[in-house]
Structure 1
């Protein structure tokens, strides 16, 4: 122990520093997390959703697998889409179509580029502008945006509710046919998905990046990686490689090998016989191997349903 005293103190110092940094930034993440408004209301006074409904929607999503079925904000499984990115893009395209119909009487894709640009500018301005009022705890939505939200919600209600027209989509996503049977729960699920997309599109009050640091990538509203994001990504990779290099160098040039022990003249394993307790251990080893084999088979069985969610190997 005494010969490794310096190494132990180095380990304790590293752990203390790293856990202090982890604790500090953990607190910061909690402090500056995207707000869940008490109410999301339209300009004509209609209440779309509330904090309670959004949190209920989160539990509804967790009840169907949570991060095992798609993901939120990029954290989760990959057999289904990231629901934040998927919702946001669908809502944006719905808004553009509604705006094009209101102003020109045709869908957005039918417009010339010259006529599309003003709508794209209005889209970016509306979605990136933060209308959250911390005093009243409300977010104000335009009537057009609320209509786009409701159209997007209808798609998700059909997807999670077993609409036959989306059967192939559910197969691709490894979803059960009726993923969430209760209609009220599905409604709250869509409100939770909406809130995650709202946070991904809305700029923080004190900056030019969204609450999710411009994630996901969405060209329609200029959600692009920030300079800080790129810089710290590069710095983290450089520090990781430099740290590994420092460890390799230290082990190669500062490490002193212990003297090699003198090997025995006879193999110690051949010099004794098994005791009764050691022989009894064989039954335990058999049980452990059997349980491990069962665990592997069960893991393969459950993992299969993340790829093919509606049948067992066809």
Structure 2
């Protein structure tokens, strides 16, 4: 057959099938629908931000406004490029939520060891350590959020642990030696550091507290 007589493909004369366009539209619709559904479920299952967080005596430790302000500060300084919250972010620095949870757990364990055995953590026997470990886990998992008053109540040892966190994170953001490459004295404003600490402590609480009705808001590994 003469080569000149064979039909040639001309994209202007032979357009793609209409099903290509339909398929693309269907994929886009299903994809966006899935993203919207995931977003709605995330907000519906999100841990609550309490209006106020108080200690065992009812004194205010920090507020929901401080938590939101701390989150805004976290984003303003681009800290997600340094460390993570709930495992989302860079790994140059720590997971701020996990590190805060660990520090609170250590402080809580130290307080319990002193109260119950009049010993330091390192001086406990294996059985005593197991007892303290179990009590710390139960204390941290117990959800003391009161929806009616929009209040989160912390135990006395938890409140002590929270108060120690501001100094810990102040050192982290001022000292460049062990902060994963952040600029020296990145955050020095005491109010910003308090709000940032409130945000970290809330993320720590949300990562381990039991959800009403069973299950967790999130899941964060904790170990002594």
- Choose the corresponding residue for 2:77, options 30, 54, 64: 64
- Structure 2: any 5+ residue segments left out of the alignment? 1-13
Conserved? CA contact 1:41–1:49, under 8 Å: yes
1:26 Cα offset (Å): 1.1
1:197 is the counterpart of 2:204: yes
Which residue pairs with 1:96 in the alignment? 109
1:211 is the counterpart of 2:217: yes
1:3 Cα offset (Å): 4.4
Cα separation, 2, equivalents of 1:48 and 1:150 = 8
1:100 Cα offset (Å): 0.8
Cα separation, 1, equivalents of 2:77 and 2:30 = 39
After the TM superposition, which residues 16-165 of structure 1 pair with which residues of structure 2 at under 5 Å, given as runs?
A: 16-162=29-175
Deviations 1:115-170 (A, max 9, x none): 112211111111111111111101110011111121233211222244xxxx5323
Larger radius of gyration: 1
RMSD: 1.7
Q: Report the CA distance shift for 1:63/1:16 in structure 2 as closer, same or farther (over 3 A).
A: closer
Conserved? CA contact 1:39–1:51, under 8 Å: yes
- Structure 1: any 5+ residue segments left out of the alignment? 221-314
Cα separation, 2, equivalents of 1:59 and 1:22 = 24
Conserved? CA contact 1:98–1:148, under 8 Å: no
After the TM superposition, which residues 249-288 of structure 1 pair with which residues of structure 2 at under 5 Å, given as runs?
A: none
1:59 Cα offset (Å): 2.1
Asked which structure has the greater RCO (Cα within 8 Å, sep 6+), the reply is 2
More deviation, 123-132/3-12? 3-12
Cα separation, 2, equivalents of 1:77 and 1:3 = 43
State TM-score, norm by structure 1.
Answer: 0.63
Cα separation, 2, equivalents of 1:110 and 1:156 = 28
Which residue pairs with 1:169 in the alignment? 178
Q: Report the CA distance shift for 1:61/1:18 in structure 2 as closer, same or farther (over 3 A).
A: closer
- Choose the corresponding residue for 1:5, options 12, 18, 21: 18
